[in-house]
């Protein structure tokens, strides 16, 4: 099947006629062909979005929200269909794919409500007979560039707030998961989104993404992906003064103290380290454990991890699906081999899966590394695979210091039954997300999502914080005094109006 671009309300092929193939990472089977866009296709999409913007920003916000509500209803009806497609295209197990779609539903409903809310400000003026207020204005054409690991949820994080606030969008999903991106555009089209408001261009980041971030008609780039690419996006955007919202990598840790509920901690670690095959920016790739409980924790973790089953993500018996492709598979293996060379010890896993049915796909064994020092590459660099590293510490203060001494600052959790230690950790941990007695994954759409340090550029996705990304403030003064009043200086002594 051929999946096309979507420009000005029409499904169109690439101007070059070229396509690229999408395959199932679990078995290599072809899922379809996708239009491979050119810079000319990007230019056409941006120009349509520019032309549509002036009309769409004036479209009543409540009605924009109603379209999103209808899209949410369609997503609910198609949840299982989309989840199965996601498991085939991206590789996450079916229950997690359902969760991905549900997060997209939740975000769509949440942002639909902003069509009747998106509150501004009113405040007393410093002068008499004068109204002072501020309202949100859309920024213009948004370039939404999304990754493959959450192929439906993350696009809704970007598209829904952008659209409900009156922006127009050019959407480029990952070239690894363009089919799910296409399905989301179909949903919005069916919900009644007018032509030209949302446009879809598919293809690799090196050409299509590059053309999009450099296009002078784009006002805002919203990008989720690697730190390396994020830095490039920031540098290019600076050349033309574009706004940018960056959500980049993570090197997340779970801290386990001596007094932790070990059964609960093991549950949280296994889910956070190996859920989505470790392919989450919030995945727990470091376990910082107090020495008094380390041996008992490690014994339980090895037992649980050894029981995890690799396989077809559509099968209910599968615990861990494939990684996205062979390139990523080899990158994960190189990271593990480097860790071993630096002195880390493999307790379980540590190999590409090469036997049985899984040999057809891109599978890596869930891996635990011990004897990891905080300065090792495996303790500092994002792996984006089913690998976690054990780091031993003496106390809470050391654990927090090691947690904070990485370039990233997205998510951290701590397991302790001491409320005082929990609150010290909440205060001193320098990450955008902090969990107490829960894993590092599990964000909720009504709360800000994002990280500190090199994980982001200070913006947040989700919740009302996302509105600040996709809008700008317009301050309005209405003077009904009937005379010239000069702010700051037009007040007589004693406070009376001049």
Catalytic residues: 247, 281
Quick one: tokens of 389? 């590293």
Closest to 1 (Cα-Cα) out of 29, 16, 25, 21: 21
Question: How far is 292 from 294, CA to CA, in rounded Å?
Answer: 6
Q: Which of the 8 DSSP states describes residue 44? A: H
Cβ–Cβ contacts within 10 Å for residue 494, how many?
Answer: 5
Q: How far apart are the first and last CA of the chain?
A: 74
Helix, strand, coil abundance in the chain, percent, nearest 5: 40, 25, 35
| Helix, strand or coil, per DSSP, at residue 304 | helix
Report how far apart, in Å, the C-alpha atoms of 30 and of each of 22, 186, 202, 278, 359 are: 6, 21, 17, 24, 17
| Helix, strand or coil, per DSSP, at residue 133 | strand
Report how far apart, in Å, the C-alpha atoms of 406 and of each of 12, 54, 279 are: 45, 44, 19
Closest to 446 (Cα-Cα) out of 187, 109, 115: 109
Instruction: Please calculate the CA angle 249-255-256 and round it to the nearest 5 degrees.
Output: 150
β-pairing verdict for 30-35 and 19-23: antiparallel
Q: Which residues contact 289 (CB under 8 A, 6 or more apart)?
A: 255, 256, 297, 298, 390, 391, 392, 393
Quick one: tokens of 327? 């390139």
Question: How far is 202 from 318, CA to CA, in rounded Å?
Answer: 31
């Amino acid at each position: 099947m051929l999946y096309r671009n979507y420009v000005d309300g029409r499904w169109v092929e690439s101007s070059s006629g070229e396509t690229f193939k999408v395959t199932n990472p679990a078995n290599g089977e072809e899922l379809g062909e996708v239009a491979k866009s050119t810079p000319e296709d990007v230019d056409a999409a941006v120009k349509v979005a520019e032309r549509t913007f002036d009309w769409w920003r004036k479209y009543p916000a409540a009605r924009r929200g109603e379209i999103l509500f209808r899209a949410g209803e369609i997503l609910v009806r198609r949840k299982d269909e989309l989840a199965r497609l996601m498991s085939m295209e991206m590789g996450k197990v079916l229950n997690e794919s359902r969760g991905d779609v549900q997060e997209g539903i939740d975000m769509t409903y949440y942002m639909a409500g902003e069509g009747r809310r998106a509150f501004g400000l009113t405040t007393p003026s410093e002068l008499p007979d004068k109204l002072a207020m501020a309202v949100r204005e859309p920024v213009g054409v948004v370039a939404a560039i999304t990754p493959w690991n959450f192929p439906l949820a993350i696009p809704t994080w970007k598209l829904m707030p952008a659209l409900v606030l009156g922006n127009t969008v050019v959407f480029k999903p990952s070239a690894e998961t363009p089919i799910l991106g296409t399905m989301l555009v179909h949903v919005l089209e069916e919900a009644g989104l007018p032509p030209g408001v949302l446009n879809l261009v598919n293809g690799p980041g090196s050409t299509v993404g590059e053309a999009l971030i450099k296009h002078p008609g784009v006002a805002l780039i919203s990008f989720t992906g690697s730190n390396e690419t994020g830095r490039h996006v920031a540098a290019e955007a600076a050349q033309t003064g574009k706004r940018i919202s960056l959500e980049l990598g993570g090197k997340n840790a779970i801290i386990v103290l001596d007094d932790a509920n070990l059964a609960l901690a093991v549950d949280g670690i296994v889910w956070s380290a190996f859920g989505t095959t470790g392919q989450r920016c919030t995945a727990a790739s470091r376990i910082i454990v107090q020495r008094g409980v380390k041996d008992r924790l490690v014994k339980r973790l090895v037992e649980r991890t050894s029981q995890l089953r690799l396989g077809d993500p559509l099968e209910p018996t599968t615990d861990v699906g494939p990684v996205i492709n062979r390139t990523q598979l080899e990158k994960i293996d190189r990271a593990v081999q480097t860790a071993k060379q630096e002195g880390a010890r493999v307790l379980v896993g540590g190999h590409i899966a090469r036997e049985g049915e899984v040999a057809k796909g891109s599978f890596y064994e869930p891996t635990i590394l011990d004897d990891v020092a905080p300065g090792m590459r495996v303790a500092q660099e994002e792996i984006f695979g089913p690998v976690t590293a054990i780091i031993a510490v003496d106390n809470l203060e050391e654990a927090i210091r090691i947690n904070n001494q990485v370039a990233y600052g997205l998510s951290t959790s701590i397991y302790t039954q001491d409320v005082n230690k929990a609150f010290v950790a909440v205060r001193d941990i320098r990450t955008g997300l902090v969990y107490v007695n829960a894993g590092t994954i599990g964000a909720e759409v009504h709360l800000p999502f994002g990280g500190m340090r090199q994980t982001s550029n200070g913006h947040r996705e989700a919740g009302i914080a996302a509105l600040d990304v996709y809008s700008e403030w317009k301050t309005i003064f209405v003077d009904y005094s009937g005379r010239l009043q000069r702010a700051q200086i037009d007040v007589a002594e004693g406070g009376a109006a001049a």
